[in-house]
Amino acid sequence: MKKAVLGVVLFLLIGSTYFLVINFSLIKKLVGYNVPDTTEQPTTEPDINREEDGLGFLTVPDGFKISIVASGLTNPRVIAFDPKGRMLVSETKAGRVSILDPSTTLGARGNFEIKRALIEGLKSPHGLDFFPSTSSGQVPSAQTTYLYIAETHQVARYLYDVNTGKITNTVGQNIVTIPADGRHFTRTISFGSNTRSVDLIGEKVFRGLYDKNKLYISVGSSCDVCMEDSWKRAAILESDPDGTVTAEFAGGLRNSVFFTFHPVTGEMWATEMGRDNLGDEFPPDEINIIKPAGPEQKFGARRFGWPFCYGNKIKDETFKPEKIERIDIPTDCGETDAPVIEISAHSAPLGLVFIPSNSLTTSEGQRTSDVKTWPKEWEGDLLVAYHGSWNRSEPTGYKIVRFKVDKNGKMSETADFITGWISENNKKVYGRPVDLKFGLDGALYISDDAAGIIYKLEPK
């Protein structure tokens, strides 16, 4: 009898293991875009023996050099700099936000050393920003500085001591409550200017409902394609810094993980991931300009198509729910906004940033002496990190692309900017770029959640 039971157990164990191996694509669909396909991508560890700095597999623009300035991180995602030049990094899977100080021992390389975990025990922390905002160029004064952290279920703020680089309260003050988890569980935040000229509903000019500074929050969908039961999903939300009022800024966005603001217009530009299971080439991933709703948007927020439409207002004929209960989601693609840029399907665009002018200054208003200038003709160009596909027969992405665009989103050219995170035969992955942030030194910093490192790209 015991032998029979043991045989059944062994059979089930072997069978389940075999099922998991041959059906890994099913697991990927359940888990989501963060999981590389291990059958086609056997490693995500950089080959540190390729060159002295371990980055010989990467191709960067002429006149530039790339280096590793931080390593040993767990799933590093969002980068933020405090007014003193310290780097904060959200380590989402570890439930931690780490703080890294510029190294004083490694000379001109400008490496960062991990000093400490700023805060631990968080639930999938992702988005980071300060208020007053350092990313928008504001110079912090003697007034209170807050660090905002977006977890999967909330945005909380912490008093932050700029001089010591420490938070003074270990329990954050909840500013915005968000539906937790789901297929797309990361939340990204950033402060920006209030660009609305009319109230959420109607045509009243804002007077006191919002501060001139607004907190924007991206929340992905809970599924690949479905009808959400909350306006707080598949959307970008807006709030005042105190969390007094939260509203929907834009909807129909399946997974706009990252967004930034145009340096001239102040308008929001956001990456967007298209749905799965329509083949290798459809639907396209997107870059959208997220403008505030006008009087014609009767529900106070523009719509960008999902789940009924994709790309340039194309109807998704495969999605036909039996019942549509939400009247604020249009099924007519003509009522939605089209993307300004379409990207190859499954590229998984994440971080994006506009190349700034060469007039960068420190938080004290002085230009740093070691800032090296970027080509003048690149000023205002858009850089986008392609995290890379996990569900495509031939992998795509794994690079950073430069777009020449005007303020209206008209693209005149595009070119690969950094390539090589996937081998030419598509059998080996060296990393997956995520966030892109410029430091006060004029360098571009890039997080890599697969390799657990931060890169620095700078002119030679």
Rounded CA gap, 357 and 379, in Å?
6
Query: Which pLDDT belongs to residue 38?
Result: 28
User: Nearest Cα to 378, choosing from 396, 349, 404?
Assistant: 404
Q: Which of 394, 406, 393, 411 is nearest to 343 (CA)?
A: 411
For residue 334, how far is the Cα from the chain centroid? 28
**Largest alpha-carbon pair distance within the chain?**
81
Distances (CA, A) of 267 to 188, 238, 270, 288, 447: 17, 14, 10, 10, 24
pLDDT for the residue numbered 391: 87
Q: What is the 3-state secondary structure (H, E, C) of 197-264?
A: CCCCCCCCCCCCCCCCEEEEEEECCCCCCCCCCCCCCCEEEEECCCCCCEEEEEECCCCCCCEEECCC
Q: CB atoms < 10 A from the CB of 406, how many? A: 11
Question: CA 9 from chain center: how many Å?
Answer: 44
pLDDT score of 7: 54
- Residue 80 is predicted with a pLDDT of 98
pLDDT of res. 376: 93
DSSP character at residue 402: E
Q: Is omega for the bond preceding 283 within 30 degrees of 0, making it cis?
A: yes
Cis peptide upstream of residue 132 (ω within 30 degrees of 0): yes
Tokens 């002085």 correspond to what residue?
A: 366
Contact between residue 112 and residue 454 where contact means Cβ atoms under 8 Å apart: yes
CA-to-CA distance for 301 and 308, rounded, in angstroms? 17
The string over 295-334, giving b where at least 16 C-beta atoms fall within 10 Å of a residue's C-beta and e elsewhere, is eebebbbbbbbbbbbbbebeebeebeeeeeeeeebbeebe
Element (H, E) at 447: strand 444-448
Specify the pLDDT at position 399: 98
Model pLDDT, residue 275: 96
Contact 286/216 with Cβ under 8 angstroms?
no
- Across the 460 residues of the chain, what is the mean pLDDT of every consecutive 10-residue run? 51 46 34 33 40 77 95 96 94 97 56 85 98 56 82 97 91 96 97 78 51 90 96 96 91 98 94 95 96 88 97 96 93 96 97 85 45 88 96 94 90 95 91 96 96 95
Sorted by where each starts, the structural domains of the chain and their CATH numbers stand as: 32-459 (2.120.10.30)
**pLDDT at res. 208:** 46
> Encoding tokens for residue 385?
């990190």
